[in-house]
């Protein structure tokens, strides 16, 4: 007999919310970088643009550099997907 897998909707909802917030941070950072340049954007700027409470940024990224690395990886994946679709 197959064992039923218990689904924890609270956990799934939390993970989805966390992923949305993380994406919102990266979207805000990208827009600020486009507007001001990477050198002129601070964690505080990104936090404010993403609509996060003070200090919440660090719940999603341990450092500014980790955010930059994640953003670069997402941009790279997007470019690869677009190139693959074009070919």
Q: What is the pLDDT of residues 9-32, one digit of tens each?
A: 788 888 999 999 999 999 999 999
Q: Round the average pLDDT of the chain to a whole number and report it.
A: 91
Mean pLDDT, to the nearest integer, of 59-75? 96
User: pLDDT at position 45, please?
Assistant: 97
Q: What are phi and psi of 51, to 5 degrees?
A: 75, 35
Tell me the two tokens of residue 84.
């693959």
Positive or negative, the CA dihedral 51, 55, 56, 60 is positive
Please tell me the pTM assigned to this model: 0.81
């Amino acid at each position: 007999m197959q064992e039923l897998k218990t689904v924890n909707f609270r956990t799934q909802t939390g993970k989805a919310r966390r992923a949305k917030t993380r994406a919102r941070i990266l979207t805000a950072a990208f827009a600020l970088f486009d507007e001001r340049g990477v050198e002129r954007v601070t964690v505080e700027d990104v936090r404010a643009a993403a609509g996060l409470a003070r200090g919440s940024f660090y719940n999603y990224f341990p450092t500014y550099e980790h955010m930059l690395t994640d953003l670069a990886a997402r941009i790279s994946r997007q470019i690869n997907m677009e190139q693959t679709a074009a070919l």
